[in-house]
């Protein structure tokens, strides 16, 4: 039983360390020069889709036999993490103040 608790504590410590490292990476990497932010800011109010926009923002496009289309953006994961970081930190700041 003690070994189970020790194993669970070690697993939780690993998860906590990974999350803290990810948080530190996001805190240090979120600035106006971040490639994802630069790309999305550049095209924030487009009216026409051009080849330049596609090559800057889209990683690949899949067209399925049934006619469905799937678009995979280059910075989707980074942008999602940045948005989550901003949301969490603005919420923490608003609650603290």
Among 92, 77, 81, which residue's Cα sits nearest to residue 23? 81
Who has greater pLDDT, 93 or 28? 28
Mean of the per-residue pLDDT values for the chain?
79
Q: Which pLDDT belongs to residue 62?
A: 96
Q: Is the pLDDT of residue 26 over 90?
A: no
Instruction: Return the residue matching tokens 């070690």.
Output: 10
Q: Which of 29-33, 62-66, 85-89 has the lowest mean pLDDT?
A: 29-33
Q: In angstroms, rounded to a whole number, what is the distance separating the alpha carbons of residues 58 and 40?
A: 11
Q: What is the mean pLDDT of residues 51-78?
A: 89
Q: Please, which residues bridge with residue 20 across strands?
A: none
């Amino acid at each position: 039983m003690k070994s189970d608790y020790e194993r669970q504590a070690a697993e939780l410590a690993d998860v906590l360390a990974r999350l803290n490292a990810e948080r530190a990476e996001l805190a240090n990497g979120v600035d106006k020069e971040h490639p994802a932010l630069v790309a999305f800011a550049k095209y924030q109010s487009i009216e026409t889709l051009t080849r330049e926009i596609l090559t800057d923002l889209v990683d690949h496009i899949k067209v399925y036999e049934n006619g469905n289309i799937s678009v995979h953006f280059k910075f989707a994961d980074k942008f999602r993490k940045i948005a989550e970081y901003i949301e969490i930190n603005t919420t923490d700041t608003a609650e603290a103040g």
